[in-house]
Amino acid sequence: MHSLRDLRRRIRSIGSTEQITRAMQMVAASKMRKAQEAALAGRPFVQLLYRIQREATARAGVFKNPLLEVREVRKRAVVLIAADKGLCGPLNTNLFRLAAEFDPESTVFITAGRKGAQFIARTRRQLVAEFTYADTPRYAEARAISAFARDLFLKREVDEVQILATRFVNTLTQNPLCAGFLPIGEVNIPGIKMTDKLAADTAEVVFEPSPEAILGYLLSHYLDIYMYQVLLNAKASEQSARMVSMKNATENAESLIKDLTLEYNKLRQGNITKELLEIAGGQAE
C-alpha cells in the first residue's frame, strides 16, 4: 500500500505532466487549424493542374519527355516525408512500417523531417539526401525536394521515384500513402480523387509554340506543386495526430489524478479513524 507522502508525490507529478500535455494540445490545435486550411485550400488547384497535365500529355501526339519515360525498375528512390517530432500517436510508426517493405538493396531514400532520417539511419538503409520543412511548408522547400528527386531520375541513377507520406482525411484519420512521382503518369495525389474522362473528350487541342515548349515547362512545375501539396497534407496530418494524442494524454492524466485523489482521501480518512480509535481506547483504559 502506498503512503500518503507517495500518493501526494504521484499526484503532483502527474499534475505537472497534465499541464504540459494540455499546453501541447492547445499549441497543436492552433497549428492544426492553419495546416488543415492550407491543405484543403490547395486541393482544387492541384486537381485542376493534374487534369491539365493529363489532357496535355494525352493530346500531344508523339511528344516525348524524359520525365514521362517508363523504364525497367532496377533501382528506385523513395521520398519519405515524416514528422520532425514525436508525440503524434502511431503516425510515424505506420509510415515507417510501409517504408520497411522496400528492398534496402535496390532502394535509396530521400527524407523530409528528422524522424524519417532517424529511421533510415537506425535501419541502416541508404540515405542520399535529407531535407527539412517548416510547420507552415513553403513552396521553396517542396521545389528543392522535387528538384533533387527529378535530377536523380534524369541522370538515370534511379528508374522510379515514389513518395511515402501521410494522407490527411480528417482530424481523427490520417493514412500512410505510397504514391508515384516519377515517371509522370496517373497518380494518387493525397486527399484528391481523380476522375479521368479524357477518352470521351474529342476536342481538338493546338499547342503554341509547340508541345515540347509547353509541356517541358508544365511538367516540372507540376511536380513541384504536387510535392508542395504532399507536404501540406503531411503537416496537417502531423498536427492533427499530435492534437488528438495530447488530448488523450491529458484526459488519461485527469482520470489517473482522480483515482489517486480518491485513494489518498480513503487512506487519509482511514488513518484519522485509526488515530481516533486509539485515542478512545486509551481514554477507556
Residue-wise pLDDT tens digits, 252-278: 998 898 888 888 888 888 777 777 666
> Catalytic: 88?
yes
Res 80 pLDDT > 90: yes
Q: What is the dihedral of CA 22, 23, 24, 26, to 10 degrees?
A: 90
Q: Answer with the residue of higher pLDDT: 194 or 240.
A: 240
> What is the predicted pLDDT for the residue at 119?
92
Q: Mean pLDDT, the chain, as a whole number?
A: 83
Binning pLDDT at 50, 70 and 90, where does residue 182 land? Answer: confident
Beta strands per DSSP E along 171-240 = 173-182
Q: What are phi and psi of 162, to 5 degrees?
A: -120, 160
For residue 141, how far is the Cα from the chain centroid? 16
Question: What is the mean predicted confidence (pLDDT) over 178-191?
Answer: 70
> What is the predicted pLDDT for the residue at 191?
46
Count of all residues that appear for the chain in the document: 285
- Considering only 21-25, 113-117, 205-209, which range has the smallest mean pLDDT? 205-209
C-alpha to C-alpha distance for 21 and 87, rounded to whole angstroms:
10
Answer whether residue 189 is part of any domain.
yes
Cβ proximity of 179 and 162 under 8 Å: yes
Question: What is the mean predicted confidence (pLDDT) over 112-130?
Answer: 91
Res 222 pLDDT > 50: yes
C-alpha to C-alpha distance for 279 and 277, rounded to whole angstroms:
5
* Number of domains observed in the structure of the chain: 1
Res 193 pLDDT > 60: no
Q: Answer with the residue of higher pLDDT: 88 or 77.
A: 77
> What is the predicted pLDDT for the residue at 187?
54
pLDDT digits (tens, 9 = 90+) for 9-61: 888 888 888 889 899 888 888 888 888 888 888 888 887 787 777 777 776 66
Give the residue numbers spanning the domain of 149: 23-243
Answer whether residue 253 is part of any domain.
no
Question: What is the mean predicted confidence (pLDDT) over 51-77?
Answer: 78
Angle, CA 274 vertex, CA 270 and CA 277 arms, to 5°: 140
Q: Is the pTM of this model over 0.85?
A: no
Question: What is the mean predicted confidence (pLDDT) over 117-136?
Answer: 90
- Considering only 83-92, 173-182, 201-210, which range has the smallest mean pLDDT? 201-210
Answer whether residue 211 is part of any domain.
yes
C-alpha to C-alpha distance for 53 and 65, rounded to whole angstroms:
13
Q: Answer with the residue of higher pLDDT: 229 or 192.
A: 229
For strands 126-131 and 76-81, give the pairing. unpaired
Res 139 pLDDT > 70: yes
- Considering only 3-7, 120-124, 142-146, which range has the smallest mean pLDDT? 3-7
* Residue 247 neighbours by CB under 8 Å, 6+ apart: 25
H-helix or E-strand containing 126?
strand 126-131
Q: Answer with the residue of higher pLDDT: 86 or 282.
A: 86
* Residue 153 neighbours by CB under 8 Å, 6+ apart: 66, 67, 77, 159, 160, 161, 182, 183
Answer whether residue 222 is part of any domain.
yes
CATH of the domain at 168: 3.40.1380.10
Cβ proximity of 240 and 83 under 8 Å: no
Answer whether residue 281 is part of any domain.
no
* Residue 52 neighbours by CB under 8 Å, 6+ apart: 218
C-alpha to C-alpha distance for 230 and 58, rounded to whole angstroms:
24
Answer whether residue 172 is part of any domain.
yes
Of the residues 88, 99, 189, 219, which is catalytic? 88
> What is the predicted pLDDT for the residue at 190?
47
Cβ proximity of 230 and 165 under 8 Å: yes
Q: Answer with the residue of higher pLDDT: 235 or 171.
A: 235
